[in-house]
A = this chain, B = another copy of it.
């Protein structure tokens, strides 16, 4: 029996999960595994960077789930600081360049995993390359930001973008004693929520002393004579800044794949089948892709989306590794669940927002209710706002959004499972959810929302 070679491009969650799972199923006598990573680290939690910056996490090493040495000990030929510069799909080989020496060479593969991740969007405008302007996508990015904060001249920070990374970074900088301004293109922060729910997040952020500037576009970064950032300029104003953090989202890193002729989706990500195998005529079944560089099927809208999230990347890697290792596994898609927090405010969402439902032509009813995390009389009961969307006539659950305090966020999982199962809001009213005074009012907030949504669907 000849030994097959698996080549993995990208040493983070998806790539190294795939490599590890394949190794679990096939030993070095059956499968050789070569993984290329252009950075210094493997298998790190990018989602943890804001907490490292904010001081909740001790240090960089805490964010590393598995070190290069651990991977190598499991028989993975990991090549750090080595960047793949070309994929030759027809020839089943990749060209890689050692970042430090510049030396290049080709490596052939029987199976290829593309896990090149995503890169932060850096608007094309003057001053973006100034010192003190930071993305927070990789551990190297996080380290660079922490170094800037250590050297800082002043204590004014501007965060560009108010999605979950922007909001989490605003909290981290507040914790480090900064005066924080968040500059946001949308009408409210957290555009993954409907604006009426985003407004609750804005109020909480303002309550923390964060200055929230909505409905505005950054047009330039002004630099001092020494090349360090001095201010962020928007259409309407100028905000002095000693440090700038970019939290305006990420794009799939698919330049290599595109150059290789692999077709990309409308969001610029690779498209795969359920087994995470790359689709398209060129991909002959030997190419797999997962993590932040792929688009995923939204099971509620039926459309492809790009969602950069560690939990999906890990699932992709697991699925790919199982399939490459001779088993069979699938990733059916997502329902769009996300949860985040800013100080003690918990923010969660799953499924479709109002504008998503409109975009795909669904008619819906939306309801919003107020409830509490525990029985009203139990200590620590805190208020929670729940918004629910249901399809008109059928009553099918379309989405859920929650803004509240302790105990609010993970309630979104109830709706995530219900969406996956295609439940109606009427069916949800009968759900047998855990009840005891320290955990929930006698009607869980999600049940209260389901009752109201069900009544509205019935009356419509």
Contact = CB atoms under 8 A, between A and B. Distances in A.
A416 B433 contact: yes
Contacts of A438: 51, 341
B434 A348 contact: yes
A164 B434 CA distance: 13
A120 to B, nearest CB: 18
Given A340-B436, A416-B434, A443-B311, A410 B409 contact: no
A76 to B, nearest CB: 19
A240 interface: no
Interface string A39-57: 0000001011001000011
Contacts of A443: 311, 314
A111 interface: no
B379 A430 contact: no
Given A48-B378, A377-B62, A413 B412 contact: no
Interface string A377-421: 111000000000000000000000000000101111110111011
A239 to B, nearest CB: 27
Interface stretch (A199-207, A252-260, A328-336): A328-336
A283 interface: no
Contacts of A350: 432, 434
Given A378-B57, A407-B410, A48 B430 contact: no
Given A414-B417, A421-B417, A338 B434 contact: yes
Nearest to A402: B434
Contact of A311 (B334, B348, B435, B451): B435
A309 interface: yes
Contacts of A314: 442-443
A431 interface: yes
A362 interface: no
A375 B65 CA distance: 10
A98 interface: no
Contacts of A439: 339, 341, 346, 409-410
A423 interface: yes
B413 A48 contact: no
Contact of A309 (B51, B413, B435): B435
Could you say which of A337, A377, A418 has the most chain B C-beta atoms within 10 Å of its C-beta? A377
B434 A48 contact: no
Interface in A358-390: 375, 377-379
Could you say which of A47, A414, A420 has the most chain B C-beta atoms within 10 Å of its C-beta? A420
Contacts of A331: 430
A435 B335 contact: no
8 contacts: A45-B442, A338-B435, A339-B439, A340-B436, A341-B436, A341-B438, A407-B410, A411-B413
Given A51-B437, A311-B444, 4 more contacts: A56-B379, A339-B436, A413-B413, A417-B417
Interface of A: 13, 45, 47-48, 51, 56-58, 62-63, 65, 164, 309-312, 314-315, 318, 330-332, 334-341, 346, 348, 350, 375, 377-379, 407, 409-414, 416-418, 420-421, 423, 427, 429-440, 442-444, 451
